[in-house]
């Protein structure tokens, strides 16, 4: 799809989960049977779909959100939060029979987190072609993850391909079964170490060679662009045959919640502006480095202006 740089920003559609995050700060996560006292409890808007929508919007894209919330206070709060970032929520349904999704986020002093999600209305979402296909009209990209039912994600990807819309997939969390037909519809795959291990059986954090091997594995499924995020070790990205390694900036980590979603949103927003793919990955790395320095999910996602101030000269290396 050609981008008219003189027109208003391209549209990105994000289909996925909307959760209210219940974040609990602890020194260390409890082991089995142990009780620990928390330092703080915070409620904040979250959900991978909503986080990625916010990240895209704050990085300059026009965003439409597709998903489902319950008819409760959490649902209203999540919609208000998205709208405050200028996100179109007309395609977010309110389900009177299911509660809004909730994520229980345990954040250790090291910044590492452990998350348990009660999907609620997210798991009841169903793609309605008549009502939702128009949402894709004129869109540059459809961003998907797997906190919504995977068959509905597949239907959305099929409609996106038919509409001439690029498909971006973050396969998180990895379900027991992923429809094989989904992979051939994906234009950009963004995943972390644990997701790569679950999908192809390779420990991509072991070495760059292992990561490149995993990337080639996914490309055999018909996916041209693949990005493996490696936490504090950076990211490895492929655009066809070209593979680049992007080291992470050295920062003081407070909370890694939404770092992956921030990375993806900044990458996609840069991609819609027509930047070279390696530059898009660099934008994602910079935004994620800012995200982990602040607690919370959407509260930690930086703006495009903040990201560009923090940008350093690209220093990736070809593999």
* Residue 40 in this model has a pLDDT that exceeds 50: yes
* Residue 315 in this model has a pLDDT that exceeds 80: no
pLDDT at 309: 93
Which residues, including other chains, have CB under 8 Å from residue 174's CB and lie 6 or more apart?
146, 195, 198, 199
Give the model's confidence band at 107: pLDDT under 50 very low, under 70 low, under 90 confident, else very high: confident
- The mean predicted confidence, pLDDT, of the chain is 93
* Residue 2 in this model has a pLDDT that exceeds 50: no
Distance (Å, whole) CA 142 – CA 160: 7
Mean pLDDT over 311-318 rounds to: 82
Mean pLDDT over 215-242 rounds to: 96
pTM, whole model, 2 decimals? 0.91
* Residue 314 in this model has a pLDDT that exceeds 80: no
Selecting among 203, 255, 261, 279, the annotated active-site residue is: 261
pLDDT at 319: 82
Q: Is 203 a catalytic residue?
A: no
pLDDT at 8: 83
């Amino acid at each position: 799809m050609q981008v008219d740089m003189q027109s208003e920003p391209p549209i990105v559609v994000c289909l996925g989960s909307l959760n209210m995050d219940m974040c609990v700060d602890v020194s260390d996560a409890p082991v089995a049977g142990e009780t620990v006292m928390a330092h703080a409890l915070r409620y904040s808007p979250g959900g991978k779909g909503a986080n990625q929508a916010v990240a895209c919007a704050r990085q300059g894209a026009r965003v439409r959100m597709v998903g489902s919330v319950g008819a409760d206070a959490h649902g209203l709060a999540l919609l208000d939060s998205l709208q405050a970032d200028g996100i179109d929520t007309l395609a977010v349904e309110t389900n009177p029979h299911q509660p809004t999704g909730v994520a229980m986020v345990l954040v250790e002093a090291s910044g590492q987190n452990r998350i348990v999600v009660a999907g609620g209305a997210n798991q009841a979402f169903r793609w309605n072609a008549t009502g939702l296909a128009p949402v894709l009209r004129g869109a540059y990209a459809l961003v998907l993850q797997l906190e919504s039912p995977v068959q509905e994600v597949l239907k959305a990807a099929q409609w996106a391909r038919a509409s001439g819309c690029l498909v971006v997939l973050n396969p998180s969390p990895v379900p027991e079964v992923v429809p094989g037909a989904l992979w051939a519809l994906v234009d950009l795959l963004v995943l972390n170490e644990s997701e790569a291990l679950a999908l192809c059986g390779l420990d991509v954090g072991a070495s760059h060679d292992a990561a490149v091997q995993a990337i080639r594995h996914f490309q055999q499924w018909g996916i041209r662009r693949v990005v493996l995020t490696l936490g504090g070790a950076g990211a490895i990205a492929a655009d066809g045959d070209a593979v680049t390694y992007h080291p992470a900036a050295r920062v003081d980590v407070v909370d890694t919640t939404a770092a992956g979603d921030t990375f993806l949103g900044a990458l996609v927003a840069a991609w819609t502006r027509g930047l070279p793919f390696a530059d898009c990955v660099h934008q994602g790395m910079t935004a994620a480095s800012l995200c982990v320095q602040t607690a919370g999910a959407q509260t930690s996602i930086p703006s495009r202006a903040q990201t560009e101030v923090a940008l350093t000269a690209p220093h990736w290396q070809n593999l």
